[in-house]
Structure 1
Amino acid sequence: MGGHFSSLLASDVAPGERVPVTVLTGFLGSGKTTLLNRLLRLPDLHGTAVIVNEFGAVGIDHDLIAQTTEGTILLANGCMCCAVRSDLVEALNRIAERTGPPLRQVLIETSGLVDPGPILRTLMADPGIRSRFELAGVACTVDAVLGMGTLDRHPESVRQVAVADRLLLTKTDLLEDAALLSPLVERLREINGLAQLHADRESQPQVLRDHIQARKSTHVAPTDTLFYRAQYAAGDMATDSTPQHRDGISTFVLVRDMPLPRDAFAAWLDMVIAMRGEDLLRVKGLVHQAEDPDRPLVIHGVQHLFHPPELLPAWPSADRRTRIVFITRGVDAQALGETLDVLVRRHLRRSPSTL
């Protein structure tokens, strides 16, 4: 019987048009709700649903509120805001089944104390949710003044940074000296060299709006920019070496020039997920399959859960190498690569005509 990824690969279900979901995370006091309030004052957000995954009051300014019905706040700009105090699945289903204007995108604001992993796993693991919604990406606010101390004392904040696609540096206007920002930026780059960093306060609402309104999720096609940013963060990736950082988080890229047999790759990823799933904070990449060399296989996972893999109609660039970016906790990149090579060689001995 195949493992988790093999089962997804075997299902070969073509995804329908799903609603993109962006997760906004960040530690307590880092400015998530302030940024959300500024975002909701921008135009052209009709069809946006906001879920506040938080205990306590909904952090939306009163002048944005139009009326409240059945736990959903209807905002004056045409957005909806749902305060979730129990089941995120129930909230997403309620939003999806509502009548009215079409739902275009969803933004989930997490509690400042949580590891966002469970929310990402909900989006990937629940079949009903997965058929309607897709993870568009993760944005994380980081306090420019208190960020270093928060990262030192709270492992949750490190994980929030590690899984993000965009890092939004807040409160930069409160710094007495702009040079004080450099150590924090270096620390963030060590934890997550893939994420785009945005320090300009004025542009951040627009950055977040552009992110949530992107019609294709970040897992559909990892761009060359993402790959080379990760390559820079990982150092000399040709050796599959894993840089060691103070937070225990490492970024590396697994690259293979030759096409990979589909079964061997799936068996390898099944094994990696089974053995080190909890330590795979984010995995995304393009896989060059021997059986279908003209269409790259896109993979995207959070810990032990992966999206159903998708085939792109064509390669996004002339580079047809397999490139898989890992953000992990304590995973040995060299051992990971060597294991893949062993499984590929074993497969080729059994089926020498594969390549």
Structure 2
Amino acid sequence: MATETSDDRIPVTLLTGFLGSGKTTLLNNLIRDPDAGRIAVVMNEFGDVGLDHDLIEEATEETVLMQSGCICCSIRSDLVETMRALLDRRKGGDLAFDRVVIETTGIADPGPILHTLVVDQQIAPSFRMDGVVTLADAAVGPRTLDAQFEAVHQIATADLVVVTKTDLVTPDEVERFEARIEGLNATARRIHAEHGRVPPGALFGLSALRPSVTSGDISDWLGTEPSKPDPLAGLSGFARQSSKPASLPFGQAGHHAHHDHRISSAAIEVEDPIPAGIFDFWLDTLIAIKGPDILRIKGILHVEGLELPFVFHGVQHIFDTPVHVRSWSGTDTTSRVVVIARDTDAKGLQKSLEILRTRPKEDGSDADGMMVHTTGMSF
């Protein structure tokens, strides 16, 4: 497993997006790009599309390994067996790859795959989630979001949204579509693909849960103002929030008549270190009440009594192992927490986050006299 100073697990990128959004085109370009490195691509056998037929005919293991260092395989059983088989062949010297890209079907929920990678002890010690990349079609995407909640869900869970087919619509239509995406997930970075081409580095290193993470990486991950220039600024056009808001309710896209209103988001910043009991109380009660509907929880947390902050991430009730930010320096002790949920009242979600501002009295109660416990409470 990962240690405090290193993480040798193989990074995994989850590539999702609704039917026809351009996943196959992006994968074809990624596989042919020598700068992408050695990638194992796992494709769901229930998908409606795969790699282009001519590429499949060319892509014997020997040919692909010599030309671009990529290995393509299809899921023949379940995900765990596929990942174990890849790992066994890598250890045996039959295959050489440095990361894995899993392409889901167009209607897939990313949640179960994320859960499997985190909790299954057959593969969790060897693989780590590197990020969720969602493709969004600018031409038909608005209608897809209206008709299919799965497409809304895919955007809400993304670390990166790749907007495709922008050449088929007007700049105003692209702008409105991106505004809608931001309403669903304001923390996800956005870039445009040109005929399926994106810089390979834009797809990788999205998660902040790694020992080498920097404060700038965390700012990118949480959608706050970075402390260093954005290397993708020319591609993304991403509009970030202010770096020092008192409270950030967002993602309330109620003006759309279909599915957008089912996604609510809230964020908070707390300048002083948070007592561990307060954070445990908030997290335990939120998961107990809304666990199945929590799409993403992520943040950086400064805890009273700890010298270094840590970053954390969860989907529903499943959480990755928190990672201490060993590169942290300076006196900034601001915690930042983001929650994205479905079928959840946005005001209630924001109110729950305000618990993190609670300062317990010496008798163990908060300012309103409520006893603070780590379990068994609700709000």
Instruction: Report the TM-score, using the length of structure 1 for normalisation.
Output: 0.82
Matched, 1:195 2:210: no
- 3-state SS of 1:228 partner: coil
| Amino-acid identity (%) | 37
What pairs with 1:113-152 in structure 2 (closer than 5 Å)? 113-152=107-146
Match in the other structure for 1:274: 288
**Aligned with residue 111 of structure 1, among 105, 121, 129:** 105
CA distance in 2, matches of 1:283, 1:43: 35
Matched, 1:182 2:197: no
More helix by share: 1
Paired residues of 2:270 and 2:357 also in contact (CA < 8 A):
no
Distance change in 2, residues 1:261/1:182 (3 Å): same
CA distance in 2, matches of 1:58, 1:80: 18
**Aligned with residue 82 of structure 2, among 83, 88, 91:** 91
Distance change in 2, residues 1:12/1:63 (3 Å): closer
Size of the aligned set, in residue pairs, is 332
Q: Greater shift after overlay, 80-89 or 22-31? A: 80-89
CA distance in 2, matches of 1:313, 1:128: 28
**Aligned with residue 224 of structure 2, among 225, 228, 234:** 228
> Higher RCO, 1 or 2 (CA under 8 Å, sep at least 6)?
1
Distance change in 2, residues 1:18/1:291 (3 Å): same
Match in the other structure for 1:336: 352
Distance change in 2, residues 1:322/1:191 (3 Å): same
Paired residues of 1:237 and 1:253 also in contact (CA < 8 A):
no
Match in the other structure for 1:345: 360
Match in the other structure for 1:260: 274
Distance change in 2, residues 1:60/1:46 (3 Å): same
CA RMSD of superposed structures (Å): 3.2
Paired residues of 1:30 and 1:143 also in contact (CA < 8 A):
yes
Paired residues of 1:139 and 1:164 also in contact (CA < 8 A):
yes
Shift of 1:249: 1.6
Shift of 1:272: 1.5
Residue by residue over 1:48-72, the C-alpha shift from the partner in whole angstroms, topping out at 9 and shown as x without a partner, is 1100123168722333633269xxx
Distance change in 2, residues 1:296/1:102 (3 Å): farther
Paired residues of 2:132 and 2:158 also in contact (CA < 8 A):
yes
- 3-state SS of 1:253 partner: strand
Q: Which amino acid aligns with 2:360?
A: R
CA distance in 2, matches of 1:295, 1:44: 35
- 3-state SS of 1:127 partner: coil
Matched, 1:167 2:161: yes
Distance change in 2, residues 1:96/1:278 (3 Å): same
Shift of 1:276: 1.1
Structure 1 unaligned segments of length 5 or more: list them: 1-10
Shift of 1:223: 2.2
Paired residues of 2:16 and 2:132 also in contact (CA < 8 A):
yes
Distance change in 2, residues 1:38/1:103 (3 Å): closer
CA distance in 1, matches of 2:273, 2:243: 24
CA distance in 2, matches of 1:30, 1:12: 35
CA distance in 1, matches of 2:280, 2:239: 24
Shift of 1:338: 3.8
Match in the other structure for 2:197: 205
Distance change in 2, residues 1:48/1:12 (3 Å): closer
CA distance in 2, matches of 1:178, 1:126: 44
Paired residues of 1:287 and 1:297 also in contact (CA < 8 A):
yes
Structure 2 unaligned segments of length 5 or more: list them: 226-237, 255-259, 367-379
- 3-state SS of 1:276 partner: helix
Shift of 1:112: 0.2
CA distance in 2, matches of 1:327, 1:114: 18
Match in the other structure for 1:63: 55
Instruction: Report the TM-score, using the length of structure 2 for normalisation.
Output: 0.77
CA distance in 2, matches of 1:83, 1:316: 45
- 3-state SS of 2:174 partner: helix
Matched, 1:322 2:335: yes
